[in-house]
Structure 1
Amino acid sequence: MPKTLSADDIQQFREAMRRVAENAFATRGAQGVTMRELAKELGCSAMTPYRYFRDKEEILAMVRAAAFNRFAARLEAAARSIPPDAPAIDHSAVSQAYVAFALDEPHAYRLMFDQTPQQRDAYPELAAASQRAWHLLEAHFERLVEAGVLEGDPRLIGYAYWTSLHGFTMLALANQLPPSAAQQQVDCAGDSARQPSREAVFAQILRMLWRGALVPRA
């Protein structure tokens, strides 16, 4: 008779599965991974994962929800770090946290956004996690519009902001952007020394985004 699973047993197995599955899904694609392969990588029997998950889609939803929550926590921490008396247009901390998360956790970031959307009703934890970061960004721009710093629809501004940062981030992950300033110092004899650094490109994107939404000065 199977052992009765405690809450700790379930949590420990799910966390072990999350780590293994995140790497597997990100490197081989969701369609290229089977439950049997995940069980083998965990060192358990082929049927053991079914004691904790209905199927592979539920595992994918768990992995993505965990990634979204870590992402949102990073953005929330950055937002809290902004002093109340900071210049109204100096909110680069959130933008920097966004890109830093993707560069620190590329597998997680790709799984968050580079997947066919899963049914929200079937995976409420994933739905809640995916909205957590968006709600922070939306509230952030609502405050700036209400304060008269930016003008326009906060939700539209938020989407423009997100798509711009996502494009930069995906190009950075694909090594399609100029090298970082630190790398250019190492490669100072090559052509990269004459290119703008990755950081300079990022700073220019932020300047252009903010300038486009700033309330015109009289």
Structure 2
Amino acid sequence: MTRSLTHEDLAAFQTRLCDVAEGLFARRGAENVSMRQIAAELGVSPMTPYRYFVGRDDILVAVRIRGFERFAALLEEAYAATPGNAAAKGAAAARAYVDFALDNANTYRLMFDLHQQDDASDGPLGRAVRRARATLSVYGDGLIRGGMAKAEARAMEGLIWSTLHGAVTLELAGTTPAGSARETLRLLGRLAAPVAPPT
């Protein structure tokens, strides 16, 4: 007699499905992955994924939500756990950013290399995107509290974000050698120190 699946069983399979899909999306490009291919990779019938998701795009949304939420949680934790002023906290968040990107390359690419309609929505993906974006604003927030004009602080924040993103993207692509993103982070910290807010 086949036992009924528990909520935990269903959640575990859904997680495994998202893990498998994430790898396929990253290797082949999301537009080149079918529900049938996901099922084959999982070793289940072609219709099984449809019990959990309407289609491939819904799986991609779920994968990206997980990524943005994990990313935001790590940066929030780094910021909250670091003693000292806003500069020290911002540096800790920047290190967490680079660590996440290098340790979760597939997830990072799907988060930032793709754009879906729901990215700007009030739904779960839109909320996850906004939470992640808020964690990237801590440095600019600190500059503003330290007296810098808002427009200038946000421009500085954007410069730091784009520099980190560029550094990790180049390293993940193999264009720059291993360790180059962390070296960029180190140099960026030296350059940003003179404008860091005192509190």
Kindly tell me: are residues 8 and 88 of structure 1, through their superposed partners in 2, closer, same or farther at Cα, counting changes over 3 Å? closer
Distance 1:198 1:50 in 2: 39
Deviations 1:95-135 (Å, cap 9, x if unpaired)?
Answer: 11100101101000000011133334778211111111211
- Which contiguous aligned blocks of 4+ residues in structure 1 show a shift greater than 6 angstroms? none
Give, in whole Å, the separation in 1 of the partners of 2:121 and 2:134.
21
Aligned match of 2:187 in 204, 208, 211? 204
Q: Which amino acid aligns with 1:144?
A: L
Taking the TM superposition and a 5 Å limit, the aligned residue runs for 1:50-129 are 50-83=50-83, 86-90=84-88, 91-120=90-119, 124-129=123-128
Q: Give the number of the structure with larger relative contact order, counting CA–CA contacts within 8 Å between residues 6 or more apart.
A: 2
RMSD over aligned Cα atoms: 2.5
Cα 1:38–1:198 change in 2 (3 A) is closer
Please give the secondary structure, in 1, of the residue aligned with 2:117: coil
1:102–1:109 Cα contact (<8 Å) kept = yes
TM-score for the superposition, normalised by structure 2:
0.84
Q: Normalising by the residue count of structure 1, what TM-score does the alignment of the two structures yield? A: 0.77
Shift of 1:162: 1.4
Greater Rg over alpha carbons, structure: 1
Mark the runs of 5 or more structure 1 residues left unpaired by the alignment.
181-196
Aligned to 1:15: 15
Residue equivalent to 1:137: 136
Which has the larger displacement, 99-108 or 6-15? 6-15
CA contact (8 A) 2:23 2:106 kept: yes
Q: How many residues align?
A: 193
Higher helix proportion, which one?
A: 2
Instruction: Report the Cα distance in structure 2 between the residues aligned to 1:122 and 1:179, rounded to whole angstroms.
Output: 36
SS of structure 2 residue aligned to 1:54: coil
Identity of aligned residues (%): 38
CA distance in 2, matches of 1:49, 1:88: 45
